[in-house]
Amino acid sequence: MSATKQTHGFQAEVSRLLHLMIHSLYSNREIFLRELISNASDACDKLRFEALDTPALMEEDPEPAIRLTLDKSAGTLTLADNGIGMSEAEIIDHLGTIARSGTEKFLASLSGDQKKDAQLIGQFGVGFYSAFIVADKVTVESRRAGLAASEGVRWESDGQGEFSVESIERAERGTAVILHLRKDAKEFLDDGKIRQVVGQYSDHVAFPISLAVAGDDKAPETINSATALWQRARQEISDEEYENFYKHISHDFEAPLNWSHNKVEGKLEYTSLLFTPPRAPFDLYHREASRGLKLYVQRVFIMDDAEQFLPQYLRFIKGVIDAPNLPLNVSRELLQDYGPVKKIRTALTKRVLQMLKKLSKDEEKYSRFWAQFGQVLKEGIGEDPDNRDAVAALLRFASSEQGDSLTSLDDYLARRKDGQGKIYYLLGDNAAAARQSPHLEVFRKKGIEVLLLSDPVDEWMISYLDRYQEVPLVNAARGELDLDGEDKPDDAEQDNALIKRLQESLTGQVEAVRATRRLVDSPVCLVLAEDQLGPQMRRMLEAAGQPVPEMLPVLEVNLDHPLLKALDSQEPGADFSELAGLLLDQAMLAEGQLPRDPAAAARRMHHLLSRAVTPNA
């Protein structure tokens, strides 16, 4: 009826996503039904929420419902809901663009390998566009609750880069998605098939889903149980139901790693159902990425991303919380400093940490978890002092004694040597480099294990973790080592003439030169003073444009090493200074740092090499 049919181009990312999705999800294609039903259920949730303030939005049709209709002769499957609906502007915006930062980069990371991409797209959440996996044309008709019947809108596309929009007369509120099924997707015209897929993926949707066949006299039949899953008793819910519920709320297709479902009674009554996802969303580190739980009050949906119920470092946890005693008109601002919310948050945080502890008993699953979320969890060491030991127990580290496998602090403590009162760690740019560090020599000799920390956040993180189970953590490359009382060189040793000569020659480049017992095979190493910034923190500050205090390292020397012995007999003069400079350069290189003056270091090295190849020069 409208003379104003307009054509729009999809945002480039949408076209690309559509193309990749159709290709990579072909063998999982029944998920389109779950995704569209999830959207319909969200739309009903949103309507109920808005109607709390504006009851008139319910019009004459107050019971939220989702209706599926098969039309075999037209070859269409229609999903209709009487939820919130969309205005013309909304439909153009929601069904033509993707408003998540990082999307372009994410799409570029897809490989073209169907299996791998299918999993990755799960991180993204496929949503509405999955309709095109089974349909070669999709028509959406909608009217937003509260608008007049004349303000209906029809959206149509064949998924090839463009969509059209026109205004229509639409008496019913809500949205109908009409799928013109592809030739190879006609199985979805079979009511048995629809029943099976809805039963499998969407049984727990809290609104009735009915199925009708056009031309059939039978009344539409409800085909799901239509109770909120989290309200049912734990023992009545199968693992598969939990898994499907997770997929429904997260738009993921892989099963969660584990979950925790609890009902808390009493003054602070609430039910929580929390899931550990199998993969990090692609935008885990984007500020505006969705995070947090879905909040319900008395089964009425209140908001997505209720981030107030968990701390930042647990932002990857998915789930729902139903707190029947919160006011229905609760807003984000109100949640912020609402006493009961803080209490629930404290309890849920503990709950999640327990859930992760349980997960850690399953080594295979936990290593998947750790690879995806380990970095985020480390934020908790700084962020959550009250639960520091519980978070620390979940951390995993490379270790000098454990080859490629990672260790927990508890396992480290269980293996420690009699009388070893400290947990030792070493920071490095990567575990392989840390493993080569001269600082480990004395620990190896004594059979003491050292944790190898190489994440960019590790130095920051460890600065908050000075103890675990009352045992102090000590940086193996910092301060004076005192492994078993006998490691400190005595004053007479420090009073050595060679040390004094080195110190003189390196004035302005090192804080001090000291004799050491840290080393076995290496001649020298650098040691940080107790209060000095390490290289990782330095780089982080520099990258953030912060001023970095200039502090000189301490050079420790192994007086038993043949090189130092030879140096001792070297006459004072230019050669001695040159060799002293080279020793310092080497110590920096062994730390993975550049010498302070790389050009001068290279010159010294060339000089030395020339002499080595032409001994009489």
Ligand X SMILES: Nc1ncnc2c1ncn2[C@@H]1O[C@H](COP(=O)(O)OP(=O)(O)OP(=O)(O)O)[C@@H](O)[C@H]1O
* DSSP track, 112-160: S-HHHHHHHHHHH--GGGGHHHHEEEEEEEEE-TTS-GGGEEEEEE-SS
Q: Can you count the helices (H) and strands (E) in the chain?
A: 22, 22
Residue 613: how many CB atoms within 10 A of its CB?
Answer: 7
Residue (39 or 387) nearer to ligand X, CB: 39
Write down the least CB distance from residue 35 to ligand X, Å: 6
CA quadruple 518, 519, 525, 529: dihedral, nearest 10: 0
Instruction: Look at strands 300-306 and 423-427 and give their pairing.
Output: unpaired
Which position's Cβ is nearest ligand X? 127
Residue (144 or 180) nearer to ligand X, CB: 144
Residue (79 or 481) nearer to ligand X, CB: 79
332 is in an annotated binding site: yes
435 is in an annotated binding site: no
479 is in an annotated binding site: no
Write down the least CB distance from residue 355 to ligand X, Å: 23
Residue 216: how many CB atoms within 10 A of its CB?
Answer: 12
101 is in an annotated binding site: yes
156 is in an annotated binding site: no
Write down the least CB distance from residue 81 to ligand X, Å: 5
From residue 418, how far is each of 338, 445, 467, 518 by CA, in Å?
A: 50, 16, 18, 20
Write down the least CB distance from residue 257 to ligand X, Å: 20
CA dihedral sign, ordered 517, 522, 523, 525: negative
Residue (64 or 85) nearer to ligand X, CB: 85
374 is in an annotated binding site: no
Residue (129 or 424) nearer to ligand X, CB: 129
245 is in an annotated binding site: no
Residue (175 or 360) nearer to ligand X, CB: 175
Task: Name the site residues for ligand X (rule: CB under 6 A).
Answer: 39-40, 43, 81, 83-86, 94-95, 125, 127-129, 175, 251
475 is in an annotated binding site: no
548 is in an annotated binding site: no
Write down the least CB distance from residue 175 to ligand X, Å: 4
**3-class SS at 92?**
helix
Cα–Cα distance, 297 to 597 (Å, whole number): 64
Residue (125 or 146) nearer to ligand X, CB: 125
Write down the least CB distance from residue 161 to ligand X, Å: 17
125 is in an annotated binding site: yes
Write down the least CB distance from residue 316 to ligand X, Å: 15
Tokens representing 113 are: 């390998």
Q: In this structure, what are the phi and psi dihedrals at residue 215, rounded to the nearest 5 degrees?
A: 85, -5
Write down the least CB distance from residue 115 to ligand X, Å: 21
Residue (167 or 367) nearer to ligand X, CB: 167
Tokens representing 112 are: 């073209």
Cα–Cα distance, 394 to 413 (Å, whole number): 14
Write down the least CB distance from residue 225 to ligand X, Å: 21
339 is in an annotated binding site: no
From residue 407, how far is each of 217, 273, 286 by CA, in Å?
A: 65, 30, 29
Sheet containing strand 270-276, strands side by side: 258-264, 270-276, 318-322, 293-297, 300-306
* Helices 31-53 and 239-250, axial angle in degrees (round to 10): 70
Q: Which neighbouring-strand residues pair with 155?
A: 140, 165
Residue (142 or 454) nearer to ligand X, CB: 142
184 is in an annotated binding site: no
Closest to 254 measured CA to CA, from 82, 126, 432? 126
List, as residue ranges, the binding site for ATP: 35, 39, 81, 86, 101-102, 123-128, 175, 332
List, as residue ranges, the binding site: 35, 39, 81, 86, 101-102, 123-128, 175, 332
